[in-house]
């Protein structure tokens, strides 16, 4: 167990006892706090983040019908008549929430907060599965803190408790045990754990968390590399890369998270079902944010292009540098598309083609978007300027079809009319009429 603690023992003792006493009294944090304290003050004490003053402790004890001595006691549950209070804190929903919160703390790099929360969960009321998760999370946080012996001990306990060697948590325990042993220079044992994890993972006929599989292959590769078995290491790393490349679009990633969440829900493993649903929700929020930002760049660039051309060029050059630093592919695609359009309007056709191709590639990984459609259409315009009509037709049709799928009626009207004019200039009245008609229908 770690020797250095972020919070003194009093904070760890008072927090859960205060919370248990409050719940036993059926008080909310607001009811306990008012009128002398804030809700955030109560919450921080219960989480072990701060210590209450003696005056505050006396006030809490009076309101809860107990004594400050009971709240400060370090005796085991039941030694001073508080067994009923201690058990009140352990509702299943609250335990699940605290385990999830601890995992979030670990992923955010707040290891000491995770340790405090996990230690407060040590209770006989935890189910076997919750005990396994508790030890797994402790192993994870100790590993992050380079406390490898403590990590190995917690994970070994978790492995002993695990009943189903093929379930998701058991596989994660094996993989982390392998990583811990590799970090301790027990390379052969680390490799053995991770190979066992991979064998069980490949036997499971269920939706996969591809990122976890990649993590396992990477761990195997690292272990082989440490053992100077470079051919085997290269093979493992190549397998990891091939799996990552399968998830080239947001839609594929969302589908994977959705399938895994549904699998866990059907298996009644609601903890992991909820976790993957959160991942799916976060992915959608991120996609929406990126889509919104890229569309704003699109409309702003269009407005700039219709004004002073030199001002538009300066804006595009500056914005491209800023967005490249953000690594936002969709916004970068939007700005690169308009740079291609500016270059085309100013006679730099070859450079315009390079930018249009780059923009289309950047936008393609996000599926159907206004940015991807516009990139295809600008690429078509550039190819028409190069008299590459067959390629231009292909990109115009693809871009217009995407606008139609998106329901972007105004853009569909404008771009269909533009394509119709180009077809008419090529003396193709039948095809031109088809797209003039599409422009009219979308306008109606």
Can you give the pLDDT at residue 123? 61
Q: In terms of domains, do 240 and 162 share one?
A: yes
Closest residue by Cα to residue 349 from 316, 383, 373, 372: 383
Q: pLDDT for 289-323, tens place per residue?
A: 667 778 788 888 878 887 788 988 998 999 888 87
* Distance of alpha carbon 296 from alpha carbon 287, whole angstroms: 14
Identify the DSSP state of 306.
T
Can you give the pLDDT at residue 4? 37
Per the domain annotation, does 143 fall within a domain? yes
**Helix 329-345 crosses helix 370-385 at what angle (to 10 degrees)?**
30
Pair 171, 201: CB distance under 8 Å: yes
Domain region containing 376: 306-443
Q: In terms of domains, do 216 and 114 share one?
A: yes
Per the domain annotation, does 233 fall within a domain? yes
Per the domain annotation, does 148 fall within a domain? yes
Can you give the pLDDT at residue 416? 92
Can you give the pLDDT at residue 3? 36
Q: In terms of domains, do 164 and 45 share one?
A: no
**CATH code for position 58:** 1.10.260.40
Can you give the pLDDT at residue 11? 43
Q: In terms of domains, do 316 and 216 share one?
A: no
Task: Read off the tokens for 254.
Answer: 């969302």
Mean pLDDT split into 10-residue runs, the chain, 444 residues: 36 75 85 83 82 77 75 50 43 80 86 86 77 93 92 93 84 95 94 94 80 91 90 90 76 83 83 81 71 79 83 90 76 93 94 95 87 95 95 95 88 92 93 91 79
Can you give the pLDDT at residue 116? 86
Can you give the pLDDT at residue 248? 65
Q: In terms of domains, do 146 and 227 share one?
A: yes
Per the domain annotation, does 97 fall within a domain? yes
Per the domain annotation, does 208 fall within a domain? yes
Q: In terms of domains, do 66 and 114 share one?
A: no
Q: pLDDT for 24-55, tens place per residue?
A: 888 888 888 887 788 888 888 888 777 777 67
* Distance of alpha carbon 97 from alpha carbon 405, whole angstroms: 41
> Which residue in the block uniquely carries the two structure tokens 């811990």?
180
Q: How many domains does the chain have?
A: 3
**CATH code for position 196:** 1.25.40.10
């Amino acid at each position: 167990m770690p020797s250095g603690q972020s919070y003194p023992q009093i904070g760890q003792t008072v927090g859960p006892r205060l919370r248990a006493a409050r719940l036993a009294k059926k008080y909310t944090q607001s009811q306990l706090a008012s009128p002398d304290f804030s809700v955030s003050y109560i919450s921080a004490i219960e989480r072990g983040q701060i210590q209450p003053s003696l005056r505050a402790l006396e006030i809490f004890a009076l309101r809860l019908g107990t004594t400050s001595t009971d709240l400060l006691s370090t005796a085991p549950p039941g030694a001073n008549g508080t067994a009923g209070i201690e058990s009140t804190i352990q509702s299943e929903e609250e335990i699940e929430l605290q385990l999830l919160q601890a995992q979030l703390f670990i992923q955010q790099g707040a290891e000491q907060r995770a340790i405090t929360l996990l230690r407060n969960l040590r209770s006989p009321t935890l189910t076997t599965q919750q005990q396994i998760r508790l030890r797994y999370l402790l192993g994870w946080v100790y590993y992050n803190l380079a406390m490898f012996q403590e990590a190995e001990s917690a994970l070994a306990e978790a492995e002993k408790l695990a009943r189903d060697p093929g379930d998701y948590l058991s596989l994660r325990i094996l993989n982390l045990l392998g990583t811990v042993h590799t970090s301790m220079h027990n390379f052969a044992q680390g490799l053995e754990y991770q190979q066992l994890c991979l064998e069980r993972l490949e036997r499971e006929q269920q939706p996969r968390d591809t990122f976890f599989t990649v993590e396992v292959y990477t761990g195997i590769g690292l272990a082989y590399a440490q053992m100077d078995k470079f051919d085997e290491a290269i093979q493992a790393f190549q397998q990891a890369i091939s799996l990552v490349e399968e998830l080239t679009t947001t839609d594929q990633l969302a589908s994977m998270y959705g399938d895994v969440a549904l699998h866990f829900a059907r298996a009644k493993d609601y903890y992991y079902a909820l976790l993957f649903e959160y991942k799916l929700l976060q992915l959608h929020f991120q996609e929406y944010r990126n889509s919104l930002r890229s569309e704003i760049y699109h409309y702003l660039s269009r407005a700039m292009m219709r004004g002073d051309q030199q001002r538009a060029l300066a804006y595009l050059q500056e914005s491209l540098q800023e967005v490249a630093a953000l690594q936002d592919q969709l916004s970068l695609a939007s700005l690169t598309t308009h740079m291609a359009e500016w270059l085309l309007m100013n006679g730099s056709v070859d450079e315009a083609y390079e930018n249009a191709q780059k923009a289309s590639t950047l936008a393609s990984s996000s599926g159907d978007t206004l940015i991807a459609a516009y990139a295809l259409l600008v690429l078509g315009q550039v190819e028409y300027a190069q008299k590459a009509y067959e390629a231009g037709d292909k990109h115009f049709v693809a871009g217009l079809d995407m606008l139609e799928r998106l329901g972007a009626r105004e853009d569909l009207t404008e771009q269909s009319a533009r394509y119709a004019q180009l077809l008419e200039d090529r003396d193709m009245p039948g095809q031109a009429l088809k797209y003039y008609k599409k422009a009219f229908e979308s306008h109606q």
